[in-house]
Amino acid sequence: MSGAAAFLYNDDFMLYQFGPRHPFQPIRERLAMDTLESLGVLDGKEARVVASPPVSMERLNRVHPPEFVTEVERICLAGGLLDQGDTPGNPGLFTGALAAVGASIRGAEGIMSGEFEHAFNPAGGLHHAHPEAASGFCVFNDIAVAVRYLQREHGLQRIAVVDIDGHHGDGTQSIFYSENVLTMSLHRYSRGFFPGTGGMEERGVDEGRGYNINLPLPPGTDDEMYQQAYFSIVLPALRAYQPQFIIHQFGTDGHYKDPLVGLGLTTMGYAEIARRTHDLAHEVCDGRYLVVGGGGYEIDATRRSWAVMFAELVGGRSADEGIAALHDREAVESSQEVLSEVDRVIAKQEETALPMVEKLIRYA
């Protein structure tokens, strides 16, 4: 069961970069598109490339105040640092950042109008960005801007954000911490690991209490354990919440080859996560499913992970020989310690987080 899917693209995505030696390399986005194009997936029958415009200031300003946006533009032109040091500005970056956010809006817009059913913005997923602070290679939070767009311009009241990046989605969490937007994040969590937040006790406050769920995972978590956490907590929470729209942050820096994170996912794990989330979107929200990118610092692993994910959005293509050939040949297996730590996290959130969401929805 699948309609048309859009692969969003804007040449300005390539301007969202921090120099040749920086881990963030936007070329992975074009390579994923080229791969899908060469395999015939983007031939216009079930999926196609859709050009996306930059975000308007009006929409951007719903999350990022004008003074902050002006300051970012100034720093980009002058070439200073946008955060503590990981995110240096440069003249093209501001244009690239507007394009990255614009594509998430374009995806949400096309899904809402029925122009296409699902969409992927490989330049999005900039989940560390806060309203008035860039952080961790993220300038503007496209996820939050898309949520505001869906709330204000389409009147949606239940939007779910699922974040599978290897790092905690701290910017997104904090923006919606006191609102009933369901935000869930699975990420590596260990002492000294960026950004340091993302513990199980962070559940939201006020109106948002119970609507934030973290699944902090130890380094070395493999496909099997990751999926166990995803299937036992994330999918049931989505079913309970009954979202009208799902945004999936699909950073692939949890891949076992990624140089920055240390989780143990393979392309098989990513494909399965995409398959199950796509199915669930059809089950609960008419297939309204927007996937955005995120981290992913091993360029080839990211290209392949995104290509197999996108093939899941397009009916039947994941079984294609060309797609199957993109998968990792090696397998990763969690140690006994990792296994029991992930079990502990699942048990704890099954006992606490899930009943909270179920109860909130019952009495909403």
Q: Are 307 and 323 in contact (CB under 8 A)?
A: yes
Place of tokens 């392949």: 304
Nearer to Zn ion, 12 or 165 (CB): 165
Nearer to Zn ion, 171 or 251 (CB): 251
Please give the single-letter amino acid code of residue 228: Q
State the catalytic residue, choosing from 128, 167, 187, 248.
128
Q: Which of residues 257-296 bind Zn ion (CB under 5 A)?
A: 287, 295
Q: What length is written for the chain?
A: 364
Rounded CA Rg of the chain:
19
DSSP calls for 33-84 = HHHHHHTTTTSSSSEEEEE-PPPPHHHHTTTS-HHHHHHHHHHHHHT-BSSS
Q: What is the dihedral of CA 170, 275, 109, 68, to 10 degrees?
A: 20
Note if 154 is an active site residue.
no
Residue 120 has phi, psi (to 5 degrees) of -130, 125
Contact residues for 206 (Cβ-Cβ < 8 A; gap 6+): 178
Q: Are 246 and 111 in contact (CB under 8 A)?
A: no
Shortest distance (Å) from residue 65 CB to Zn ion = 25
Shortest distance (Å) from residue 311 CB to Zn ion = 12
Nearer to Zn ion, 9 or 137 (CB): 137
Binders of Zn ion: how many residues, by CB under 5 A? 8
Shortest distance (Å) from residue 324 CB to Zn ion = 20
Q: Is 166 in the site for Zn ion (CB under 5 A)?
A: yes
Q: Is 2 in the site for Zn ion (CB under 5 A)?
A: yes
CA distance 165 to 149: 23
Mark 117-156 with x for binding to Zn ion (rule: CB under 5 A) and - for no binding. Answer: ----------------------------------------
Q: Is 167 in the site for Zn ion (CB under 5 A)?
A: yes
CB atoms within 10 A of CB 208: 18
Stretch that binds Zn ion, among 104-112, 145-153, 160-168, 223-231 (CB under 5 A): 160-168
Q: Which of 46, 165, 222, 223 binds Zn ion (CB under 5 A)?
A: 165
Q: Which of residues 28-67 bind Zn ion (CB under 5 A)?
A: none
Nearer to Zn ion, 96 or 125 (CB): 125
Nearer to Zn ion, 102 or 287 (CB): 287
Site residues for Zn ion per CB under 5 A: 2, 165-167, 251, 253, 287, 295
Q: Annotated active-site positions, please?
A: 128
